[in-house]
Amino acid sequence: MNGEKIAEFFKEAGIDKEIKCPQAFAIAQKHKISKKAIGDYCNSHHIKIRACQLGCFK
Q: What is the pLDDT of residue 52?
A: 76
User: How far apart are the C-alpha atoms of 21 and 38, rounded to whole Å?
Assistant: 10
User: Domains of the chain: which residue ranges?
Assistant: 3-50
List pLDDT tens digits, range 3-51.
899 999 999 999 999 999 899 999 999 999 998 999 999 999 999 988 8
pTM of the model: 0.83
At 36, the amino acid letter reads K
